[in-house]
């Protein structure tokens, strides 16, 4: 009995630091809260002399945790230890993956006069009549009014449906975040006093999340028979001027072809409305000018330059139309030519592969013109439950059938990534411990099953002309590669599968490999540079560190890349963030890196940029 009492009274505290430039904001908070609910424990976050429940999105938001802020993760109860370990790893992973939205570089252009200047949300040039966005609430007689409880459930179902429909897109996280926010006490118990929660966010870094509260309220009210309506011209080209837009309103606006652009007077380029405006490719900017009365006259919105010109003269109109036409042509060419071979002006051919995380992202990469898959992250198959060999085989086969070339990275666990069904010993510095191929060589059951599933998928392919590569992560010595390949060959032999056509290589992300290239050249079939981890280990700076960072195109990193390029004797590619940075493209091509693996969405435009080099 005393043991049971001690178990339930167990308390474990860990201090965590926010390392994302975006702070601990709504989308990662929603994922964190979703995981918290799985544990039989009371979990709280303590910061700034305030302790809040970790199951409540609004309460965590109210802490206003920005980059560099620390908080205590406090877990009490039966599963306190397990919760603390897994939530700590999840938080670190969320911080690592939450990339800062890059500021769009604006073009320098001269107009006769500029009435407003702002920050670009989504590029494009629009011409239309200024219209002020106004809305009003009405009681609809065309819709059955639901009770608050039913309206909450209906809204949750609606958001879940939107999340599932958009899972392969970045904006899917918005709907997941709103669903978690919806299921908090703020909505479930205090719908009428939601303004109190909004007030807590004012004058904080997360003030731009207020529209998510308002958006949820709008969705709920619509199911209760209260509709929010707005009147807009549907035939006249329009530039919409709005104090703010809610995410659901951006969806509605995207369906109105007459709306050519949007000017916002509040919010930021990182708000959920802004993310959706970019997703729908609606030219838009956000300006700080608060007092402006739309003239309902012809206007130029040049979002590429971040400017608004009211009542333009003929010279300005002509210039804007030419810029509009040129931008549209560039975008169309990029998309239309996405399946074409990519060559520089000098005739150097460049292969653009995609980094993918699941079957949905593989399909998206195919549609966006990827020449193949340079990095198939297989962790998605293992995240929640241990997959069967058959489940793995079916997924690999479906992806292999889409492309002529696929590089599969074997399970990369350790560091800030864990599995719920495998106990990894706690390490003082997990990034320097049991990670990647080291984990697979120690926990061989998962490794052998994954290799067998890949082999079976290859064996059942409809074409034997496809190039399938298996890549081992975090290899630091030749012996690790030898041991891993020996296991692969043994598995193939035991199951009577011919793997002569499969290539074996490594992620080059540990600096020791640079000094052992002479030996590795005799062993591997290919290399793929993982620029993120290589940078981390070169500079001995953890990627998630709250105050330290490294220039992504540091001269020292470029020297290392050049040394690698000069000494490898096998095909080599670059994946990681560096491969997707336009500012680095020219430098990489000059070092003879002609195979780049990037986020699928970057491929059409990056191909077109390379064609102009």
pLDDT at 202: 76
More confident residue, 417 or 548: 548
Question: In the predicted model, is pLDDT for residue 422 greater than 90?
Answer: no
- Mean per-residue pLDDT, 459-471: 89
Query: Is 337-611 the same fold as 116-134+231-335?
Result: no
pLDDT in tens, 338-352: 898 999 999 999 999
pLDDT at 59: 83
Question: In the predicted model, is pLDDT for residue 7 greater than 80?
Answer: no
Question: In the predicted model, is pLDDT for residue 147 greater than 90?
Answer: no
- Catalytically active residues, by annotation: 272, 575
Percent with pLDDT over 90 in the chain: 45
Confidence of residue 233 (pLDDT cuts 50, 70, 90): low
pLDDT at 6: 55
pLDDT in tens, 271-319: 888 888 988 889 999 997 656 666 678 899 999 999 999 999 999 999 9
- Mean per-residue pLDDT, 568-588: 88
Question: In the predicted model, is pLDDT for residue 494 greater than 90?
Answer: yes
- Mean per-residue pLDDT, 451-463: 91
pLDDT at 169: 65
- Mean per-residue pLDDT, 221-246: 83
Residues 6+ apart with CB under 8 A from 346: none
CATH superfamily entry for domain 337-611 = Phosphoenolpyruvate-binding domains (3.20.20.60)
More confident residue, 462 or 306: 306
pLDDT at 278: 87
State the CB neighbour count (10 A cutoff) for residue 373: 28
Q: Beta partners for 408? A: 376, 470
> What is the average pLDDT score of the chain?
87
The encoded tokens of residue 11 equal 């308390």
Of the ranges 70-79, 185-194, 600-609, the best mean pLDDT one: 70-79
pLDDT at 397: 95
| CA dist., res. 146 & res. 261, Å (int) | 35
pLDDT at 107: 87
Q: Pick the closest to residue 424 from 60, 88, 48 (CA basis).
A: 88
Least confident range from 50-54, 72-76, 189-193, 447-451: namely 189-193
CA 402 vs CA 171, 360, 361, 499, 597: distances in Å: 24, 11, 11, 20, 16
> Which own/partner pairs from 553-560 qualify as long-range (CB within 8 Å, at least 24 positions apart)?
553/578, 553/581, 553/583, 553/584, 553/587, 557/531, 558/587, 558/591, 560/511, 560/514, 560/534
Of the ranges 143-152, 447-456, 529-538, the best mean pLDDT one: 447-456
Q: Out of 3.20.20.10, 3.30.1340.10, 3.90.1150.10, 3.40.50.720, which CATH number does the structure's domain 2-97 have?
A: 3.30.1340.10
**Phi, psi values for residue 306, rounded to 5°:** 75, 35
Paired sense of beta strands 50-53 and 42-47, if any: antiparallel
- Mean per-residue pLDDT, 521-525: 98
pLDDT in tens, 480-489: 999 999 999 9
Question: In the predicted model, is pLDDT for residue 418 greater than 80?
Answer: no
Confidence of residue 1 (pLDDT cuts 50, 70, 90): very low
* Every domain of the chain and the residues it spans: 2-97, 116-134+231-335, 136-229, 337-611
Q: Pick the closest to residue 510 from 433, 399, 581, 405 (CA basis).
A: 433
pLDDT at 348: 92
- Share in percent of the chain as helix, strand, coil (round to 5): 45, 20, 35
pLDDT in tens, 369-398: 999 999 999 988 987 789 999 999 999 999
Question: In the predicted model, is pLDDT for residue 182 greater than 70?
Answer: yes
CATH 3.50.30.10 fits 116-134+231-335, yes or no: yes
The encoded tokens of residue 13 equal 């505290």
pLDDT in tens, 115-138: 999 999 999 999 999 988 887 777
pLDDT at 399: 96
- Mean per-residue pLDDT, 427-436: 78
| Runs of H (alpha helix) within 118-243 | 148-165, 172-182, 185-188, 194-201, 210-223
**Predicted TM-score (pTM) of this structure:** 0.66
Residues 6+ apart with CB under 8 A from 213: 181, 186, 194, 197, 198, 201
């Amino acid at each position: 009995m005393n043991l049971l009492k001690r178990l339930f009274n167990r308390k474990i505290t860990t201090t965590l630091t926010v390392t994302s430039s975006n702070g601990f904001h709504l989308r990662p908070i929603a994922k964190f809260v979703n995981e918290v609910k799985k544990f039989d424990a009371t979990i709280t976050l303590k910061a700034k002399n305030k302790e809040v429940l970790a199951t409540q999105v609004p309460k965590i938001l109210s802490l206003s945790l920005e980059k560099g802020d620390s908080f205590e993760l406090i877990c009490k109860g039966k599963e306190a230890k397990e919760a603390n370990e897994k939530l700590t790893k999840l938080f670190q992973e969320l911080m690592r993956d939450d990339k800062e939205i890059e500021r769009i570089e604006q073009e320098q252009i001269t107009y006769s006069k500029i009435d407003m200047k702002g920050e670009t949300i989504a590029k494009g040039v629009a011409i239309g009549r200024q219209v002020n966005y106004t809305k009003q609430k009405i009681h609809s007689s065309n819709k059955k009014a639901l009770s608050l409880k039913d309206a909450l459930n209906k809204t949750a179902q609606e958001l879940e449906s939107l999340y599932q429909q958009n899972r392969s897109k970045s904006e899917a996280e918005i709907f997941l975040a709103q669903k978690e926010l919806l299921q908090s006490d703020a909505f479930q118990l205090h719908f009428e006093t939601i303004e109190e929660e909004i007030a807590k966010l004012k004058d904080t870094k997360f003030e731009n999340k207020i529209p998510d509260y308002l958006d949820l309220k709008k969705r709920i009210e619509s199911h209760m028979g209260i509709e929010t309506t707005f009147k807009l011209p549907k035939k006249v080209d329009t530039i919409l001027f709005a104090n703010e837009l809610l995410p659901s309103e951006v969806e509605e606006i995207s369906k109105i072809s007459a709306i050519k652009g949007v000017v916002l007077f509040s919010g930021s380029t990182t708000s959920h409305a802004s993310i959706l405006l970019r997703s729908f490719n609606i030219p838009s900017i956000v300006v700080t000018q608060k007092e402006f009365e739309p003239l309902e006259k012809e206007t130029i919105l040049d979002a590429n330059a971040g400017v608004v010109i009211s009542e333009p003269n003929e010279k300005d109109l002509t210039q804007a139309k030419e810029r509009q036409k040129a931008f549209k042509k560039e975008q169309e060419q990029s998309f239309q030519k996405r399946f074409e071979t990519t060559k520089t002006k000098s005739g150097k051919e460049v292969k653009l592969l995609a980094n993918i995380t699941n079957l949905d992202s593989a399909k998206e990469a195919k549609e966006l013109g990827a020449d193949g898959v340079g990095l198939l992250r297989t962790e998605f198959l293992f995240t929640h439950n241990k997959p069967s060999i058959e489940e793995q085989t079916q997924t690999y086969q479906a992806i292999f059938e889409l492309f002529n070339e696929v590089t599969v990275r074997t399970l990369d666990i350790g560091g800030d990534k864990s599995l719920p069904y495998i106990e990894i010993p706690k390490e003082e510095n997990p990034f320097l411990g049991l990670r990647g191929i080291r984990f697979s060589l120690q926990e061989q059951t998962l490794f052998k099953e994954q290799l067998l599933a890949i082999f079976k998928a290859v064996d059942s392919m409809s074409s034997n002309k496809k190039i399938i590569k298996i890549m081992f992560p975090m290899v630091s010595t030749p012996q690790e590669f030898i041991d891993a390949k020996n296991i692969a060959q043994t598995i193939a032999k035991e199951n009577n599968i011919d793997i002569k056509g499969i290539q074996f290589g490594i992620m080059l992300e540990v600096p020791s490999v640079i000094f052992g290239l002479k030996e590795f050249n005799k062993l591997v079939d290919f290399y793929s540079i993982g620029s993120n981890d290589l940078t981390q280990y070169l500079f001995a700076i953890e990627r998630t560190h709250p105050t330290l960072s490294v220039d992504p195109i540091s001269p020292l990193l470029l020297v290392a890349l050049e040394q690698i390029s000069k000494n490898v004797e096998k095909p080599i590619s670059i994946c990681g963030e560096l491969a997707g940075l336009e500012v680095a493209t020219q430098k990489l091509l000059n070092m003879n890196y002609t195979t780049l693996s990037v986020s699928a969405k970057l491929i059409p435009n990056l191909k077109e940029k390379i064609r102009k080099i």
